Amino acid sequence: MGKKGVWLQIGIGSADLIPIATSEFGFEFHHAERGHVMLAKWLPKDLPNTLPGNASHTVGVGAVVTDSSGRVLLVKEKSGPAARMNIWKLPTGLVDAGEELSDAALREVREETGIVAKFDFLGGFTMNHVGNPAHPHKSNMFFIVKCSASSSDISIQESEIAEARWFTREEWAAMPFPEKGCIWHALNQSALEGKARLDMRQLPLGSSRPGHRMFYYPVPTPAL
């Protein structure tokens, strides 16, 4: 049939077929989701395997949220590295599949603190190639998102957040974390004092391709 690669998706209800696919037919694991595992097999013996690999990156966001007085919203987590360090930090989280960076930041702020905010702009971003226990050997792209709160009333997410408070810029700057000059400090400052920012607008894909996509573009104006 002229095919070089074969994809085989096996649902969780048919998991007993996995050892048959791997041992008898030579399929290899490609990736897994909650409801299925995807296997693949490269057929040519004399050609290099060009099937695309599994997703190589996760995407995270941190939200610099300010209120009408210019105070910044920070949280203390109940578990994880930040909790063990006992530090105040920005609301953060991973972007879900099909979710825009702006929507992810606003969702994380609302989930962790109960604060409803609006998207202002994107600041800087960084990449981490260490991975974590949930995503070993995966790189992570982490974006800082500047947001403005519509109210100051906090209602924390009891399961994950130990405390959430508003701090003045001076109070935040006096904290030991993040250290001045480190990557996290630079990211935060890109959302507060940067001379450029990334704005966004929705644009069509084109006359021959229905649909729209968000376009993030630089705007050479003061962040605040």
Question: Catalytic residue at 111?
Answer: yes
- Using DSSP's 3-state secondary structure scheme, residue 196 falls into coil
**pLDDT above 70 (res 128):** yes
What's the mean pLDDT in 129-147?
A: 90
**pLDDT above 80 (res 57):** yes
- How far apart (Å, rounded) are the C-alpha atoms in residues 94 and 73? 18
Q: What is the pLDDT of residues 74-124, one digit of tens each?
A: 999 999 889 999 999 999 999 999 999 999 999 999 999 999 999 999 999
Which strand (E) or helix (H) includes residue 133?
A: none
Annotated active-site residue in 99, 100, 111, 171: 111
Q: What is the pLDDT of residues 7-37, one digit of tens each?
A: 999 999 999 999 999 999 999 999 999 999 9
Give strand pairing partners of 165. 74
**pLDDT above 60 (res 224):** no
What does DSSP assign to residue 47? S
pLDDT at residue 223, as a whole number: 46
- How far apart (Å, rounded) are the C-alpha atoms in residues 180 and 134? 29
Query: What global pTM score does this model have?
Result: 0.85
Neighbours of 104 (CB within 10 A): 21
- How far apart (Å, rounded) are the C-alpha atoms in residues 38 and 6? 11
Contact 117, 106 (CB under 8 A): yes
